[in-house]
Amino acid sequence: MDFRWDIIVEYSPLLLKGTLLTIGFSLASILIGTILGLFIGLGKMLRNKWYALPFKWYINFFRGTPLMVQILLIHFAVVPAFIGTTNAIAAAILALSLNSAAYVAEIFRAGIQSIDRGQMEAARSLGMTHVQAMRYVILPQALKRMIPPLGNEFIVLVKDSSLAALIAAPELMYWGRAMQGQYMRPWEPYLSAAVIYLVLTLSLNYLLNYFEKRWATE
Amino acid sequence: MIQVKNLKKSFGSNEVLKDINVTVKPKEVVVVIGPSGSGKSTFLRCINMLETITGGSVLIEGVDITDKKTDINKIRTEVGMVFQQFNLFPHKKVIENIMLAPMKVRNIPAEEARKKGLELLRKVGLEDKADAYPDSLSGGQKQRVAIARALAMEPNIMLFDEPTSALDPEMVGEVLEVMKELAKEGMTMVVVTHEMGFAKEVGDRVIFMDGGLIVEEKVPSELFDNPQEERTKAFLSKVL
């Protein structure tokens, strides 16, 4: 089998551009998804069942339907309904953020509920309000426990961002497919994409381990 | 001063407290004893509303805490609580554990809170542990820090929920010593405990609870030496 390095070299500027976009909207989605996820997680924990219901169904929907369907829906239906036209990059970020928020919400809830009840009771018995107890006692401990599952979620998100190729957002996988289309060769484009994704996820993994260790020794 | 009137508490269909009436006068040390499941911890937790109250009323310094208009956070600053499991904040240093509530609830500046915290640590004999994390302390030390933390809010009343039950035997003494000291200084205390020696020595009054009711309530010498009720006799014969 001959392996055509030359077409990888030829495509390398485009693959690089695609990789930067992949990194860009992964970061954007991680950021938006995490912030949104925190609120949805809090919403689901509301004591009033009726108030918690919409948050519960948000999570049900985004965890219970394929991301691919969500991306298509948002790109072709939701975004046009609001702004009349659509934009692949914006739609991809939106879909990834909304999807990720559902998972982050569950990670967040599990993190908070893993903290011993006595911590809240001790804080409240000192006269702190519920919000103060959350802020100074529960959340700092819960966030530390959330790092490993959040790391998992971020890695999944980076990989899932490849689905944006479906709506022609010019990210890494998009250029991989373009390369495949031009030369009709399976190995070079898909292996290149795989290696680049691997480098991205391994780097992210390294970064997360670093933070986990640093926080653990405090 | 604590006035508990017709206090009732149910968990679902399980009635844990049936009709509790107790008055604790200022500077009094009341010790609550009884078999496990008798409702003594629940009773204590009702006094600062860690449990919602099903019926009756609890008055702290004349203020009814079951009243919806009462600011429960304010009441809780006047009622310190020490837990069986210590419940220190593991992510904060010992001194930060003590400083947190005074700074956030009472808005005391950090400098002043630290000074006060060190003073309290000296009082419980742990000044040298100020910058340690709770994980590095022994059980007895943790509980003494927990007492200092509660005292930092300068409460009028202290509640102790089996403060020595989770400790190794050799550490019980150091915690009881701190509590005795507090009692001597005139702190109003309600102590749920299995330490009968402490009850005899420090208690002004001992309450024996069983089945969600107060069975007998007397000065320690009378209750321990001359119990009137069968249930009290049966319990004391097992623990003494």
* ipTM score of complex: 0.94
Per-residue pLDDT of chain A (218 residues; tens, 9 = 90+): 689 999 999 999 999 999 999 999 999 999 999 999 999 999 999 989 999 999 999 999 999 999 999 999 999 999 999 998 989 999 999 999 999 999 999 999 999 999 999 999 999 999 999 999 999 999 999 988 998 999 999 999 999 999 999 999 999 999 999 999 999 999 999 999 999 999 999 999 999 899 888 877 55
The angle formed by the CA atoms of residues A24, A106 and A41, to the nearest 5 degrees, is 90
Phi, psi of A140 (to 5 degrees): -55, -35
Contact: A127, B89; criterion CB under 8 Å: no
Compare all CA atoms of chain A with the CA of B146 and give the residue at the minimum distance.
Answer: A122
Q: Pairing state of beta strands B213-218 and B205-210?
A: antiparallel
Compare all CA atoms of chain B with the CA of A145 and give the residue at the minimum distance.
Answer: B91
Size of interface A-B (CB pairs under 8 A): 61
Give the closest of B76, B85, B88 to A124, CB-based: B76
Compare all CA atoms of chain B with the CA of A126 and give the residue at the minimum distance.
Answer: B77
Sequence-ordered strand ranges (E) for chain A: none
Residue of B104, B145, B160, B190 for testing the chain A interface, max A β-carbons within 10 Å: B104
Average pLDDT, chain B: 96
Contacts of B87 in chain A (CB under 8 A): 116, 118-119, 121-122
Average pLDDT over residues B175-180: 96
Instruction: Tell me the percentage of chain B whose pLDDT exceeds 70.
Output: 100
Alpha-carbon distance B8 to nearest alpha carbon in chain A (angstroms): 21
Contacts of A216 in chain B (CB under 8 A): none
Rg (CA), chain B: 18
Assigned token pair, A99:
């999807």
A197 vs A6: CA distance, rounded Å: 21
Place of tokens 């320690």: B220
Q: Output b/e per residue, B73-85; b: 16+ Cβ within 10 A.
A: bebbbbbbbbbbb
Instruction: Read off the pTM.
Output: 0.85
